[in-house]
């Protein structure tokens, strides 16, 4: 009699879970469980460590598992719970349907459900909907905490290039990166083209990295470099998708939030030069000089 080709899927989504060894415990548990059953053959333990369950596209371990199921390598999948497998109801239902057509059953241990059982499938639909609602609730609580921090003038999250965390989310200048910011603004203030500025920044890199125009444009228009902070320029209207904030929620602008890398005067001059379109191509230097001279006299 052929053995059941079994696999397991493990996932942890937070740093805390990773630190507590939750992922390793799951791997050990399912390895022992499958190897202890003489009717089963362990194909592999698939997993995503520190990954959100909102979208399968961001979980390579799950995608690998699905590919091996499509290749006929797996008959049975063990996983801790529906929430570990997927928090998106539509994707969860679609994966269960596809796996059923492939002859693969999923056992959700926490809920004691087997996807091949008709009654279990009905319950699975209910649980997957609950898992998605739980994920949405967690997301909303995180957003509320974020908004509260912003209103108190204490933004958190990714710190802009040129800065680092000085403790308690205080932004301090990173002198390893700041020279590139200063160079970019100095050259832009002279009316140099994006291409010229990119070349100058590339020469400052020691690891061979290249500056892209999109990144450079973002840097030259980011108010953080004159010491301010602008939040909610974009908003998440659909989970996992950011759109431009067209008055969907309040924008928050914090002046003098941190030490500037460039002066407000230089920043504003660069914005005007960008608006005039001088950075897109190598304009005649006389036109650039004429504009800069007029700006100084004005």
- CA 49 – CA 23 distance, rounded (Å): 7
Contact in structure between 96 and 121 (CB atoms under 8 Å):
yes
Rounded to 10 degrees, what is the CA torsion of 224, 229, 230, 232? 120
Chain-centre distance for alpha carbon 277: 32
Q: Which of 26-40, 147-161, 272-286 has the lowest mean pLDDT?
A: 147-161
The rounded percent of the chain whose pLDDT value lies above 70 is: 66
**Most confident residue range from 78-87, 121-130, 244-253:** 78-87
pLDDT at 135 over 80: no
24, two tokens = 């390793």
The kind and range of the H/E element at 105 are strand 105-108
pLDDT at position 16 over 50: no
Q: Work out the mean pLDDT of the chain and round it to a whole number.
A: 78
Report pLDDT digits (tens) over 82-103.
Answer: 777 875 666 777 788 888 889 9
What's the rounded mean pLDDT across residues 9-31?
A: 72
> With contact defined as beta carbons under 8 Å apart, do 232 and 214 qualify?
no
CA 43/CA 23 separation, integer angstroms: 18
* Nearest CA-CA partner of 62 in 77, 46, 78, 76: 46
Tell me how far apart the alpha carbons of residues 144 and 206 are, in angstroms, rounded to a whole number: 41
Which is more confident, 186 or 115?
186
pLDDT in tens, 163-184: 998 877 788 999 999 999 999 9
Query: Which among 65-74, 140-149, 246-255 has the top mean pLDDT?
Result: 65-74
DSSP per-residue letters across 5-25: EEEEEEEE-SHHHHHTTHHHH
pLDDT of residue 277: 80
Report the pLDDT value the prediction gives residue 210, as an integer from 0 to 100: 92
**Pair of tokens at residue 116:** 């091949």
Please compute the mean of the pLDDT values over residues 240-267 and round it to a whole number: 76
Half-sphere exposure of 97 (CA within 13 A, CB side): 7
CB contact burial 245-283 (16+ within 10 A = b; e otherwise): eeeeeeeeebeebbebbbeeebbebbeebbeeebbeeee
Residue 181 sits at the vertex; the CA angle it makes with 255 and 232, to the nearest 5 degrees, is 40
Residue with tokens 């953080």: 224
264-276 vs 213-220: helix crossing angle, rounded to 10: 130
pLDDT of 238 strictly over 80: no
Which DSSP category does 238 fall into?
Answer: E
Q: What DSSP character marks residue 214?
A: H
- Count of C-beta atoms within a 10 Å radius of residue 6: 22
Q: Is the pLDDT of residue 24 over 50?
A: yes
- Identify the structural domains of the chain with CATH numbers, from first to last: 4-136 (3.40.50.1390), 153-297 (3.90.1750.20)
Geometric angle at alpha carbon 265, from 262 and 268, rounded to 5°: 95
Is the model's pLDDT at 162 over the cut of 90?
A: yes
| pLDDT value of residue 6 | 96
pLDDT number for residue 74: 95
Strand partners, 42: 6
Give 52 or 31, the one with higher predicted confidence.
Answer: 31
* Predicted pLDDT at 264: 94
DSSP-derived 3-state class of residue 292: helix
Q: Which residues contact 31 (CB under 8 A, 6 or more apart)?
A: 8, 42, 45
Return d(Cα 220, Cα 45) in angstroms, integer: 46
């Amino acid at each position: 009699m052929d053995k059941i080709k079994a696999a397991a899927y493990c996932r942890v989504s937070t740093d805390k879970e990773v630190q507590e060894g939750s992922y390793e415990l799951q791997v050990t548990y399912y390895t022992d469980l499958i190897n202890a059953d003489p009717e089963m053959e362990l194909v592999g333990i698939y997993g995503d460590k520190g990954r959100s369950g909102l979208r399968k596209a961001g979980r390579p371990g799950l995608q690998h598992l699905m590919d091996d199921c499509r290749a006929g390598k797996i008959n049975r999948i063990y996983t801790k719970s529906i929430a570990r497998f997927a928090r998106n109801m539509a994707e969860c239902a679609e994966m269960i349907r596809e796996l059923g057509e492939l002859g693969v059953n999923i056992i959700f241990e926490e809920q004691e459900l087997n996807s091949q059982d008709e009654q279990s499938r009905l319950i699975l639909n209910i649980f997957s909907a609950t898992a998605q609602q739980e994920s949405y609730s967690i997301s909303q609580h995180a957003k509320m905490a974020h908004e509260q921090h912003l209103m108190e003038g204490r933004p958190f999250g990714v710190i802009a290039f040129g800065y680092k965390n000085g403790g308690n989310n205080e932004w301090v200048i990173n002198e390893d990166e700041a020279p590139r910011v200063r160079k970019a603004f100095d050259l832009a203030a002279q009316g140099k083209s994006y291409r010229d500025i990119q070349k100058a920044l590339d020469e400052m890199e020691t690891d061979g990295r290249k500056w892209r125009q999109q990144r450079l444009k973002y840097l030259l228009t980011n108010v953080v470099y004159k010491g301010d902070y602008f939040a909610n320029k974009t908003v998440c209207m659909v989970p996992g998708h950011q759109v431009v904030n067209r008055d969907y929620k309040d924008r928050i602008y914090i002046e003098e939030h941190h030490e500037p890398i460039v002066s407000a005067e230089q920043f504003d001059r660069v914005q005007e030069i960008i608006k005039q379109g001088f950075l897109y191509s190598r304009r005649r230097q006389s036109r650039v000089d004429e504009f800069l001279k007029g700006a100084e006299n004005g």
